[in-house]
Amino acid sequence: MKALLALAVIALMGAVRPDAAASREPDFGSYWHDGRAEIDGYRITVHRYGHPRRGRGVMIYVTEPFSSSRHVKLEHASGTGGDAMDVLKLNLVRDFQTGIYDYHTILSLFVDSRDLSPVKVAFSSSEWCGQVYEQLDVRGSQLSQQVSSYFEGESSHQTLSIPASGIQEDELFIHLRGLRGPYLRPGERRRVPFLPSPFYRRLAHRVARWADATIERLARPATVVVPAGSFEADVYVVRPGDGRLGRFFVERAYPHRVVRWAWNAPAGGLGGTDGGELTGSTRLEYWRTHDPGDERYLSRIGLRAATP
């Protein structure tokens, strides 16, 4: 009888462990307003022109003051008459080679620090053929999309309604981290309206259109080995209506970094899927590390400076 009671207690402890762990995590403000940014390096693979392309990625998470009316970073937050808001910004940089020429892309996602709701997404891609810029601006229940492209017929402007509980793909890199509580409980599944990322749409030549996606958190964590080390990770599976399959491995310990992600392309697709493995991580005031010799900080995130 005592043995059975002990087993029951152990099972109960295992069932509540995620909530108990979450209650011991640092307050969002005390951690993310310490004056530093989190910088994560990645070894990435991008499927382009029918082949996997190896490259490097960097994710930079940082809080900053933002204009709630103009949706730009504020130089001086004081004296704005209540216009200032606090955002968590994610800059996701991808660099990869395709034959003789290379791609440089950056995606910036801004979310309201209070509830992690999206405010703005900006994306740019440059390669030897030209440049493309896309902006997705959230205004209430409307999403204003502006595309400027070097290619004929691609520049456009449209307004999309935002469905209730709709999520833009790049929000996954924030929501799945559970920085303000878990997005899903173990074993839970959710179906949501889903807008694919500008990065995927650019490389797969798709227009911006909402569709449904299923997001699931697997019941059991997994051990993941990446260049940065071995991690116990919660596993999320994402199935958008465009036929892709995504897997995200999120560090169980705070700050719940994305240690690996991978998208599989739909059959007959044009490519554009990508994945990454964590090579290193640090927290610092990176905007101050611009002097000769500061390239050494790249070793903290498992990357090296580009050689001339």
Tell me 217's DSSP state. Answer: E
Per-residue pLDDT reduced to its tens digit, 231-273 = 999 999 999 999 999 999 999 999 999 999 999 987 766 689 9
- Residue 21 predicted with pLDDT over 60: no
Q: Domain residues for 31?
A: 2-301
Confirm if 236 and 260 have CB atoms less than 8 A apart: no
- Does 26 fall in a domain? yes
* Whole-number Å distance between alpha carbons of 257 and 277: 11
pLDDT in tens, 27-59: 999 999 999 999 999 999 999 999 999 999 999
Cα end-to-end span (Å), the chain:
72
The letter for the amino acid at 17 is: R
Q: What is the largest CA-CA distance in the chain?
A: 76
CA nearest to 243, candidates 275, 211, 213, 266? 266
Domain membership flag for residue 200: yes
pLDDT level of residue 162 (50, 70, 90 thresholds): very high
pLDDT exceeds 70 at position 6: no
Within a domain: 265: yes
87 strand-pairing partners? 64, 112
Mean of pLDDT values over 64-93 = 92
Confidence (pLDDT) at 2: 41
What 3-state class would DSSP assign to 31? helix
Domain-embedded: residue 307:
no
What is the band of 76 on the pLDDT scale with cuts at 50, 70, 90? confident
* Counted domains in the chain: 1
Region label for 201, one of left (φ > 0), alpha (ψ between -120 and 50) or beta (otherwise): alpha
Helix (H, G, I), strand (E, B) or coil at 76: coil
Band the pLDDT of 22: cuts 50, 70, 90. Answer: low
Examine residue 306 and state whether it is found in any structural domain, yes or no: no
**CA dist., res. 108 & res. 112, Å (int):** 13
In a domain, 19, yes or no: yes
Q: Which residues contact 133 (CB under 8 A, 6 or more apart)?
A: 122, 123, 124, 147, 148, 149
Q: Which residue has the tokens 């700050």?
A: 255
- pLDDT of residue 18 exceeding 80, the answer is no
